[in-house]
């Protein structure tokens, strides 16, 4: 027998067919109060009688495979791009599905190719006249009779997706066999109606359940597979799977114009979220959101009419639900659940601005292999080590953002062979419940300033920029810091200025990307807003390529604010030596500077007020600047770790001019994090390292005490 | 007494006032046959009688300081840019010379600021209406009464340069005192006429000289100094110093429009040569070239009428002479001389397509400090070590490109204290003369293919891209390889295609720069030309950011040719795993792969034919691709050295498909270079390293023999 948890509740168990006894036994051990099924598992009638809260999974687009077979033209669609393919002489043939999975996609020849497809000469940039190409249905190729020699051509063409992405994933990753499930598109009124009936039918089948776990709604984030069924494009926030003839026709009715195929394939980049969205793509997203919102609302209402609560699985088919949109609450979900490997992902759930039950699906899943396809619950695997690494990251940010529940997924049969893992989860569950109780589900004491994070997406895509997967970088550090955050877009900034209460504005990411802002920086209004904010006393923190957009001989448009810019080889001879001094002693670096990973190169100081706080590998790694009454900090790199967390925190407090408030709910040792909850008067102190740590701890008023924490330890007082 | 050289001739000595005996003694030691004066030294009448060939320096723009004083409005001009300066409330003042040397420049208030200057709101991008600003002559500031809050403003304004750049350099670097010389602008007809008279006057003063050493003509490459007299902008090929009211008026007459001030200052980048030239800038360069060409021709003709030969100092005021222009020979120079620290710089002299006497001014100059401002001919200096490093680089490329003469500059008084340096120069001079004799002043055996180097500048700016100063990178390697080179522009490529005989096309440089090509890659025609060339059997070698211009989700527009592209953070999710294999055994890497320095990051394979030849620091360092019948090689970095030279050579031969011809005039050991001269039947073999090298040597037919070379050794057979 496993030693049971000290506390119970707030914990959801996966079930497994034929292993009811194990479910019951582990539920007792872990203090679970809820069970759930999932793709490929079933809830037995016996289990459902045991008093657990029951979540049952409904994947609407796959639920009615019979309907799907009857309505093959209601399968989900998308645009794909064939090529670029080079014309080397004579007629050019572009086999459309070359390089794509023909198990996942079928060419849509039902809708006239000449109406719906687009052939582009990518070398000249010209769209080919319709007479210039033909579709050879027998071979599935577009044929260009007289291409320009040595020009490249592409075809944007429509496909039906005949193997639904999650079904495909489970076959390929978890070795499933059996039928390749199809996904239905509710854009068709009959299928839309059928799906609402499906919610009823589903509840008819499982009257004992308390919750319908929508997993998720209608449109998967796109995973486009190549001819070996490996992913060749994926985008966790992408709307590619929402595209269909039916949807485009509806869009045309609403907006008065039909988008070009190129607007969807965008030269093969498919409007990836990492690119600054085009005006059209923003329109398309809004158009889809309206539809998904309305239909989701109907689904939830249907479940509610039957007395069931609804929870949104914030993954897979989440596209269009937009949990950060202003009207998300109107859908009426009772809960949201999502997979979480680190603090960033926890915050993506926890920060959803709706009073719904929030649940974390923790890792590792009870699968033979892990997220990296390495052994986990099989020989060579180290599930405890893996689980602890995730939990240390999750727990740290949990202090800053409480959630209601946790749970695991996968096969219990695999877990039963790992008693040390079972014990690890028992401890984890107790730690989670203790933090939940201590927090009173309220926020802890935070810094006396807010942080505004500026991206091209603003508040709809918080916590999405990740320097390194799966570890994370600066934003993972941020996820565990006691700072309230506003995510703002350039449009927000132009319209409303820097949000009230902002102490520091942050810009981070790769040059040209949506995270750094790319072409958004060409609009001077945002720049003027930021200059005014900093000049009059605000703080600015830039990471990697802040305000980067090559123009006027500058890469960083805010080089005057930052005090630094990057030489990219076009202006090598233009180096006004401002004589920036290196500074050894500084508030920001008082706890040291860890290696910041691969640094942006070519960084140089371009303000007489710039100070260099750290050089690494001969390059400027960290610097500061004064700009009017304000302050700026520039990081040329960032590599996650306890010391880097501290560096990030100190940088934010310094930029805000609030150095004197750092040592509140604070530990001297960066491996230890503290959170004080005014609502309960409790303080949680955690050691995220695998070492015993003795440290000075500062309470909410800055009063100190000495404390020793065991490895991974957690103390509440 | 110093041991004299074994041979004599082809060597130019500097002279020094009052040290005639030392000149004579060192001339005998080094086998010098010519003497020259320079800025700050004079030729004594006695010396001129000793039978040396005599070169005497004439700096036309500084020659007649009395005339310069009488015509202050004929001083050279330029546009400078003040700001960007931030408006933070109320009236904004831009002190124009803030951050500039007021010893070098005076504001030109003679020409109406409202006609000639331009004030720009850099935040909105708008040009300020004339009524929006005024010039306060007393304080030298432009005043903007009502600026937009937190917008940045700049002023493009005209200055007179009141301290000529070379005079300034000698004061600051060599500690000269005395008058700050002014530079005259021959754009004014009276001054133009005066300069032609000056040539006559100069020859009147020194009838014994054989050569007028023009040093150089009229316009210096720009060195703009800051308020501490440090350079804040310099551009060895820049035309900024050619700009004046008089020149602009002439341009307006010829072209029918007046360029905007912004077209000269270009947001403070001043049309640096590292940027892709704008159409206007190309026009301006051509306009200036016509003027400089005509006047230079008149100067040379004037000297010839007096029986004097003319040599162009290919440095300092060389702007507009354009030695690589088609009509350069028409000027009529008898010689060209330039400073040379490495193979690249040698090639810049040696490759000038004109049958003129070519002379290298070698380093170190006999100055207390070296090019890096470190001690040289003073305590702590190591002139022999320094000189040998330069000579090893120069000699290597000398094998590929013979020149007529060498020489040194500076103060003999400094040298006399360094007998080991004197002995080093003796050996160097003998080595030079031996190579010259062996070459018969003809090219050596070369690869059976030509290399075309593609840049935005083409043939007018060969050998200008330098990865690292002063060492150099790939092009320094190239300078010593037996490959005939054509430098071509995108315009050349579009108009004429790849030149006949080309085996390999090369694109190298930083993304966006004129060297890589930047926006030139947006024109598909050049791409099509290259694709056709490679597809049908040509070779393509790319270094760093070849064909880089972000468009259509690609950084490298020729990613299909190269087999590689770079992820810059916008398309992270789009990675079609092409399964490029790593290859251990390859012709290119048969002699090993040295560390290639800091690599471009984010490089990934995007062709199924791509092969990875080397990874370093976890990044792809070197790869190949097959494209139709052709081949491509990609270098993500390059760091100069013997092993890197070899790698470059092998890459070129492999790309050309001429591996079987590598081992002609070739040494197995990469530290050794060989050149066989068909014209004389002689072979020169040099060891550029400081080790004794035993190596197999391949003659012109590939026949091998064994050879041992001492450190830095040279063998001729």
CB proximity B272 to A under 8 Å: yes
Residue numbers in B near A238 (CB within 8 A): 573
Residue numbers in A near B498 (CB within 8 A): none
**Band of residue B49 on the pLDDT scale cut at 50, 70, 90:** confident
Q: Which of B83, B570, B578, B598 to mutate to test the interface with A (most CBs of A within 10 A)?
A: B570
Strand, coil or helix: A106? strand
Nearest CA-CA partner of A285 in A257, A264, A258: A264
* 8 Å CB contact of A122 and B552: yes
Nearest CA-CA partner of B398 in B455, B447, B340: B340
Dihedral sign (CA A666, A668, A670, A672): negative
Strand, coil or helix: B188? coil
B521, B557 Cβ separation under 8 angstroms: yes
CB proximity B595 to A under 8 Å: no
pLDDT of B257? 97
pLDDT of B466? 87
B298, B252 Cβ separation under 8 angstroms: no
Which overall architecture, per CATH, does domain A1-50+338-439 show?
Answer: Alpha-Beta Barrel (3.20)
Residue A546: how many CB atoms within 10 A of its CB? 29
CA distance A364 to A361: 9
From residue B627, alpha-carbon distances to A87, B540, B560 in Å are 13, 10, 8
Is B316 considered catalytic here?
A: yes
Q: For chain A, which residues make up each domain, given as ranges?
A: 1-50+338-439, 52-333, 450-661, 666-716
Helix (H) or strand (E) holding A518: none
Q: Compute the mean pLDDT over every residue in chain B, rounded to the nearest whole number.
A: 96
CA distance B212 to B202: 9
pLDDT of A577? 64
Residue numbers in B near A273 (CB within 8 A): 573
Helix (H) or strand (E) holding B671: none
Helix (H) or strand (E) holding A329: helix A328-331
Tell me how close the Cα of B62 comes to any Cα of chain A, in angstroms: 26
Touching A: B residues 122-141, CB under 8 Å: 122-125
Range with lowest mean pLDDT among A305-309, B567-571, B687-691: B567-571
CA distance B486 to B185: 35
Catalytic residue among B64, B185, B316, B404: B316
**Band of residue B575 on the pLDDT scale cut at 50, 70, 90:** low
Mean pLDDT by 10 residues, chain A (717 residues): 90 92 95 88 83 95 96 97 96 97 97 98 97 98 98 98 93 85 97 97 94 95 94 94 98 98 96 96 98 98 98 97 97 98 97 97 94 92 97 98 96 94 98 98 98 98 90 96 98 97 98 97 96 98 98 95 94 71 96 97 93 96 98 98 98 98 98 98 98 98 98 97
Q: Is B372 exposed, middle or buried (0-12, 13-18, 19+ CB in 10 A)?
A: exposed
* 8 Å CB contact of B99 and A576: yes
Query: Could you report how far apart the first and last alpha carbons of chain A are, in Å?
Result: 31
**Structure-token match 């260099």, residue found:** A612
Rounded to 5 degrees, what are φ and ψ at B684? -110, 130
Range list of β-strands (E), A215-334: 223-225, 231-234, 309-313
Rounded to 5 degrees, what are φ and ψ at B417? -85, 0
CA distance B477 to B646: 8
- For chain B, how many residues are written? 717
A526, closest residue in chain B (CA to CA) = B123
Residue numbers in A near B553 (CB within 8 A): 266-269
Q: Compute the mean pLDDT over every residue in chain A, rounded to the nearest whole number.
A: 96
pLDDT tens sequence across B492-506: 999 999 999 999 999
**Band of residue B31 on the pLDDT scale cut at 50, 70, 90:** very high
Touching A: B residues 485-514, CB under 8 Å: 509-514
CA distance B697 to B717: 12
Calculate ∠ Cα B135-B141-B147, nearest 5°.
Answer: 80
Tell me how close the Cα of B570 comes to any Cα of chain A, in angstroms: 5
Looking at the annotation, which residues of A are catalytic? 316
Order of strands across the sheet that contains A92-95: A92-95, A141-144, A133-136
Q: Which two tokens stand for residue A89?
A: 């002489």
Check pLDDT > 90 for residue B176: no
Q: What is the CATH number of domain B450-661?
A: 3.40.50.880
* 8 Å CB contact of A529 and B560: no
A95, A139 Cβ separation under 8 angstroms: yes
Domains A52-333 and A666-716 share a fold: yes
Residue numbers in A near B264 (CB within 8 A): none
Q: Which CATH superfamily is domain A52-333 in?
A: Immunoglobulins (2.60.40.10)
Query: Could you report how far apart the first and last alpha carbons of chain B are, in Å?
Result: 31
Can you name the residues that pair with B451 across neighbouring β-strands? Answer: B485, B504
**Structure-token match 């070398």, residue found:** A123
Q: Per-residue pLDDT averaged across B403-410, rounded?
A: 96
Q: Per-residue pLDDT averaged across B318-346, rounded?
A: 97
pLDDT of B579? 74
From residue A596, alpha-carbon distances to A167, A510, A547, A621, B524 in Å are 40, 16, 20, 7, 40
> Which of A123, A528, A571 has its CB closest to that of B272?
A571
Q: Which two tokens stand for residue A94?
A: 């572009």
Q: Which two tokens stand for residue A550?
A: 């090559």
CA distance A530 to A502: 11
pLDDT of B573? 64
**Structure-token match 């059997």, residue found:** B537
Q: Is A652 exposed, middle or buried (0-12, 13-18, 19+ CB in 10 A)?
A: buried
CB proximity A528 to B under 8 Å: yes
pLDDT tens sequence across B699-717: 999 999 999 999 999 999 9
From residue A82, alpha-carbon distances to A86, A119, A140, A142, A470 in Å are 12, 9, 11, 9, 31
| Fold topology of B666-716 | Immunoglobulin-like (2.60.40)
Residue numbers in A near B269 (CB within 8 A): 552-553, 570-571, 574
Percent of chain A with pLDDT over 70: 99
Tell me how close the Cα of B701 comes to any Cα of chain A, in angstroms: 38
ipTM: 0.95
Percent of chain B with pLDDT over 90: 91
**Alpha-carbon dihedral B117, B123, B125, B129, rounded to 10 degrees:** -50
* 8 Å CB contact of A274 and B560: no
B540, B530 Cβ separation under 8 angstroms: yes
């Amino acid at each position: 027998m496993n030693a049971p948890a000290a506390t119970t509740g707030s914990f959801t168990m996966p079930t497994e067919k034929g292993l009811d006894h194990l479910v019951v036994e582990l539920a007792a051990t872990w203090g679970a109060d809820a069970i759930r099924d999932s793709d490929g598992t079933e809830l037995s009638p016996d289990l459902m009688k045991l008093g657990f809260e029951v979540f049952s999974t409904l994947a609407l687009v796959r639920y009615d495979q019979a309907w799907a077979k009857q309505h093959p033209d209601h399968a989900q669609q998308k645009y794909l791009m064939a090529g670029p393919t080079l014309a080397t002489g004579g007629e050019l043939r572009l086999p459309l599905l070359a390089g794509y999975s023909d198990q996942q996609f079928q060419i849509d020849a039902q809708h006239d190719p000449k109406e719906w497809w687009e052939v582009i000469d990518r070398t000249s940039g010209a769209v080919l006249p319709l007479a210039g190409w033909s579709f050879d249905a027998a071979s599935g190729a577009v044929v260009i009779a007289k291409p320009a020699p040595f020009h490249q051509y592409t075809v944007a063409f429509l496909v039906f997706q005949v193997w639904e992405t999650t079904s495909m994933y489970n076959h390929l990753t978890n070795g499933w066999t059996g039928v390749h499930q199809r996904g239905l598109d509710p854009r068709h009124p009959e299928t839309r109606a059928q799906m609402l009936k499906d919610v009823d039918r589903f509840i008819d089948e499982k009257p004992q359940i308390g919750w319908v776990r929508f997993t998720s709604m209608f449109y998967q984030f796109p995973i486009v597979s190549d001819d070996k069924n490996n992913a060749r494009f994926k985008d966790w926030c992408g709307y590619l799977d929402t595209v269909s003839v039916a949807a485009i026709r509806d869009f045309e009715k609403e907006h008065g114009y039909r988008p070009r195929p190129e607007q969807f394939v965008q030269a093969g980049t498919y409007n990836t979220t990492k690119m600054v969205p085009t005006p059209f793509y923003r329109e398309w997203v809004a158009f889809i959101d309206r539809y998904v919102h309305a239909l989701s609302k109907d689904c939830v209402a249907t479940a509610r009419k039957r007395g069931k609560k609804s929870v949104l699985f914030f993954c897979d088919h989440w596209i269009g639900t937009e949990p950060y949109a202003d009207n998300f609450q109107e859908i009426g979900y009772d809960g949201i659940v999502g997979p979480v490997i680190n603090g960033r992902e926890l915050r993506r759930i926890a920060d959803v601005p709706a009073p719904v039950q929030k649940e974390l699906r923790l890792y590792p899943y009870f699968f033979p292999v892990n997220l990296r396809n390495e052994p986990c619950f099989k020989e060579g695997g180290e599930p405890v080590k893996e689980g602890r690494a995730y939990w240390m990251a999750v727990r740290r940010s949990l202090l800053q953002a409480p959630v209601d529940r946790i749970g695991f997924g996968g096969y219990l049969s695999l877990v039963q062979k790992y008693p040390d893992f079972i014990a690890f989860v028992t401890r984890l569950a107790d730690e989670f419940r203790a933090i939940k109780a201590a927090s009173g589900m309220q926020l802890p004491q935070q810094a006396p300033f807010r942080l505004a994070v500026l991206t091209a997406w603003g508040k709809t895509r918080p916590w999405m920029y990740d320097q390194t997967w799966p570890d994370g970088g600066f934003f993972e550090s941020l996820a565990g810091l006691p700072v309230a955050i506003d995510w703002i877009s350039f449009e927000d900034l132009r319209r409303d200025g820097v949000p009230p209460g902002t102490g520091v504005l942050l810009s981070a990411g790769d040059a040209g990307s949506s995270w750094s802002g790319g072409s958004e920086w060409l609009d001077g209004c945002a720049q003027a807003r930021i200059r005014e904010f900093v000049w009059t006393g605000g703080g600015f923190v830039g990471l990697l390529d802040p305000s980067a957009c090559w123009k006027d001989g500058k890469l960083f448009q805010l080089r005057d604010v930052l005090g630094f810019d990057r030489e990219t080889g076009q202006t090598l001879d233009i180096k006004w030596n401002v004589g920036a001094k290196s500074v050894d002693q500084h508030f920001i670096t008082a706890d040291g500077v860890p290696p910041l990973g691969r640094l942006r190169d070519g960084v140089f100081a371009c303000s007489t007020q710039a100070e260099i706080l750290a050089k690494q590998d001969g390059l400027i790694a960290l610097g500061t600047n004064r700009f009017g009454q304000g302050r700026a900090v520039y990081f040329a790199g960032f590599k996650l770790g306890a010391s880097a967390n501290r560096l990030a925190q100190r940088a934010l407090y310094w930029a805000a001019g609030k150095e004197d408030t750092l040592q509140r709910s604070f530990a001297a040792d960066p491996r230890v994090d503290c959170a004080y909850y005014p609502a309960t008067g409790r303080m949680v102190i955690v050691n995220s390292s695998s070492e015993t740590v003795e440290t000075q701890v500062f309470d909410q008023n800055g009063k100190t005490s000495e404390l020793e924490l065991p490895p991974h330890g957690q103390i509440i007082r």
